[in-house]
Structure 1
Amino acid sequence: MRRVLTRTTPVYVAGHTGLAGSACLRLLRRRGFSRLITATSAELDLRDRAATKEFLGRHRPEVVVAAAARVGGIAANAAAPAEFLSDNLRIQLSLLDAARELRLPRLLFLGSSCVYPRDCPQPIRESALLSGPLEPTNEAYAIAKIAGLVHVRSVRREDGLPWISAMPTNLYGPGDRFDAERAHVLPALLRKFHEAVRTGADTVEVWGTGRPRREFLHADDLAAACLALLQHYDDDEPVNVGTGEDIAIAGLARLIAETTGFTGEVRFDPSRPDGTPRKLLDVGRVRALGWRPAIGLREGLASTYDWFVRHQEVVV
Structure 2
Amino acid sequence: MNFSDKIYIAGHKGMVGSAIYRSLKQKGYTNFVMRDSSELDLTNQEQVTSFFKEEKPDYVFLAAAKVGGIEANNTFRGQFLYENLMIQNNVIHLSYVCNVKKLLFFASSCIYPKFSEQPIREDYLLTDKLEPTNEPYAIAKIAGIKLCENYNRQYGCNFISVMPTNLYGPNDNYDLKHSHVLPALLRKFHDAKINDLRTVEVWGTGKPKREFLHVDDLANASIHLMQTYSGNVSVNIGTGIDMSIKELAELIKDIVGYKGAIVWNKSKPDGTPRKLLDVSLIHSLGWQHTIDINEGIKKVYFNKFLNEDKKGF
RMSD over aligned Cα atoms: 1.2
Say whether residues 1:38 and 2:34 are aligned partners: yes
Whole-angstrom CA distance in 2 between matches of 1:154 and 1:209: 41
- Compute the displacement of 1:311 (Å): 3.6
Q: Which aligned pairs between 1:167-182 and structure 2 lie closer than 5 A? A: 167-182=163-178
Q: Give the TM-score, by structure 2 length.
A: 0.98
SS at match of 1:119: coil
In the alignment, which of 233, 243, 247 is matched to residue 247 of structure 1?
Answer: 243
Instruction: Map 1:94-109; keep pairs closer than 5 Å.
Output: 94-109=90-105
2:259 match: 263
Question: Which runs of 5 or more residues in structure 2 are unaligned?
Answer: none
Q: CA deviation at 1:264?
A: 1.1
Q: Equivalent residue for 1:14?
A: 10
1:25 counterpart letter in structure 2? Y
> Per-residue displacement from partner, 1:257-298 (whole Å, max 9, x unpaired)?
011111111111110000000000000111112111110000
Alignment coverage as a number of residue pairs: 312
Superposed, 1:213-292 pairs within 5 Å as 213-292=209-288
Alpha-carbon distance in 1 for matches of 2:81, 2:140? 6
TM-superposed CA distance for 1:64, in Å, is: 0.2
What's the CA shift string for 1:34-63, capped at 9, x where partnerless? Answer: 101111111111001111111111111110
Q: Which runs of 5+ in 1 are unaligned?
A: none
Deviation at 1:307, TM superposition (A): 2.4
Asked whether 1:28 is paired with 2:24, we answer: yes
Distance 2:32 2:281 in 1: 28
Partner of 1:13: helix, strand, or coil? Answer: strand
Structure 1 segments, 4+ long, off by >3 Å, are 311-316
Give the whole-Å Cα distance in 1 for the aligned partners of 2:310 and 2:86.
31
Does residue 1:146 correspond to 2:142, yes or no?
Answer: yes
Distance 2:311 2:26 in 1: 24
List aligned pairs for 1:52-131, cutoff 5 A. Answer: 52-131=48-127
Q: Relative to 1, partners in 2 of residues 1:314 and 1:75: Cα closer, same or farther, differing over 3 Å?
A: farther
Change (3 A) 1:133 1:315: farther
In structure 2, distance between residues paired with 1:99 and 1:170: 27
Distance in 2 of aligned mates of 1:98 and 1:274: 39
CA distance in 1, matches of 2:52, 2:263: 50
Specify the SS of the correspondent of 1:215. Answer: strand
* Identity across the alignment (%): 46
Q: Confirm or deny that 1:212 pairs with 2:208.
A: yes
The question of 1:195 aligning with 2:191 is answered yes
1:155 aligns with 2:166: no
C-alpha contact 1:215 1:246 (8 A) present in aligned 2? yes
